């Protein structure tokens, strides 16, 4: 493995030689929870059901790669959300969800350089679609919670592309988006923090770990451990 170099404090690079040219890339794909935004939405929703600690423990294990079946881990967590109201989802979005530092700046810089922007998440459409509209993202894919009479049922709905957006689906989504816009995966940047991001990061030309779990940080070409998402721009020509 190529040895890693601390390019600047809190910014580590391995396997690439900066400076790079942002315009050489055509797509940037972001994970949502704990990457583009500051929270794990499923954990905050669980707070309303008095089950945050229980759900967060499963989330942490899944993100560290200690649970190999991501789909089953997500079904378990969503089942614990049964009865939470849609109003609580709105509360999480309004009061707890924040963009991570540098998120808007990085998105704007990428769009200005001609890149398309994809949000691909093991989280939920309720949040991903609002972020897509808020940041004018080009594509978004995530999981859809079933809501009946204003309450979560503890289940998710199948969508046209499949049942759950897990690591394999994140990879497939990145590859299909590359095909759709006419670029190669080598022209894609993938940013994430958890084990379910590794497959899409593995096929992208530039993989970026943002304040990530150790397993993810070790495999990424770039690791941002301090500062905001826009620190990625330090690797590119001004």
Read out DSSP for 64-102?
TT--S-HHHHHHHHHHTTTT-BHHHHHHIIIII--BPTT
| CA 139 – CA 47 distance, rounded (Å) | 29
Confirm if 201 and 215 have CB atoms less than 8 A apart.
no
Q: Which of 24, 31, 138, 197 is catalytic?
A: 31
Nearest 5°: phi and psi at 93? -65, -45
Mean pLDDT of 199-218: 97
Q: Which residues pair with 162 in a beta bridge?
A: 159
Q: Which of 24, 33, 133, 138 is catalytic?
A: 33
Cα angle value 127/134/235 (rounded, 5°): 100
Whole-number CA gyration radius for the chain = 17
* Band of residue 1 on the pLDDT scale cut at 50, 70, 90: very low
Is 31 designated active site?
yes
Task: Tell me which residue has tokens 């897990």.
Answer: 166
Mean pLDDT of 138-147: 98
Residues 143-198 have pLDDT tens digits of 999 999 999 999 999 999 999 999 999 999 999 999 999 999 999 999 999 999 99
Task: Tell me which residue has tokens 């993989």.
Answer: 207
Proportion of the chain above pLDDT 70, given as a percent:
99
Mean pLDDT of 116-126: 98
Q: Which residues pair with 126 in a beta bridge?
A: none
pLDDT of 238 above 80: no
Give the closest residue to 131 by CA, choosing from 95, 105, 99, 173. Answer: 99
Q: Which residues pair with 27 in a beta bridge?
A: 116, 188
In this structure, whether the domain defined by 5-39+100-235 belongs to CATH 3.40.50.720 is answered with no
Mean pLDDT of 10-39: 97
């Amino acid at each position: 493995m190529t040895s890693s170099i601390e390019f600047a404090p809190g910014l580590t690079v391995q396997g690439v030689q900066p400076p790079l040219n942002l315009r050489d890339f055509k797509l940037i794909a972001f994970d949502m929870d704990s990457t583009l935004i500051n929270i794990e939405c499923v954990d905050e929703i669980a707070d309303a059901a008095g089950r945050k600690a229980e759900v967060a423990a499963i989330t942490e294990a899944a993100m560290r790669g200690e649970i190999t079946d991501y789909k089953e881990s997500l079904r378990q967590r969503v089942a614990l959300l049964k009865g939470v109201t849609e109003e609580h989802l709105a509360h999480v979005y309004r009061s707890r969800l924040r963009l991570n530092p540098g998120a808007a700046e990085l998105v704007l810089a990428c769009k200005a350089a001609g890149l398309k922007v994809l949000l691909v998440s093991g989280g939920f459409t309720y949040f991903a679609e609002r972020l897509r509209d808020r940041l004018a993202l080009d594509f978004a894919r995530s999981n859809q919670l079933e809501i009946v009479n204003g309450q979560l049922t503890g289940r998710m709905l199948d969508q046209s592309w499949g049942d759950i957006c897990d690591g394999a689906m994140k990879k497939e989504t990145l590859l299909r988006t590359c095909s759709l816009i006419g670029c190669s995966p080598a022209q894609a940047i993938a940013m994430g923090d958890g084990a379910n991001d590794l497959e899409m990061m593995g096929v992208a030309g530039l993989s970026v770990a943002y304040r990530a779990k150790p397993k993810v940080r070790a495999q990424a070409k770039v690791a941002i451990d301090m500062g905001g998402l826009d620190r990625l721009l330090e690797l590119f020509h001004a």
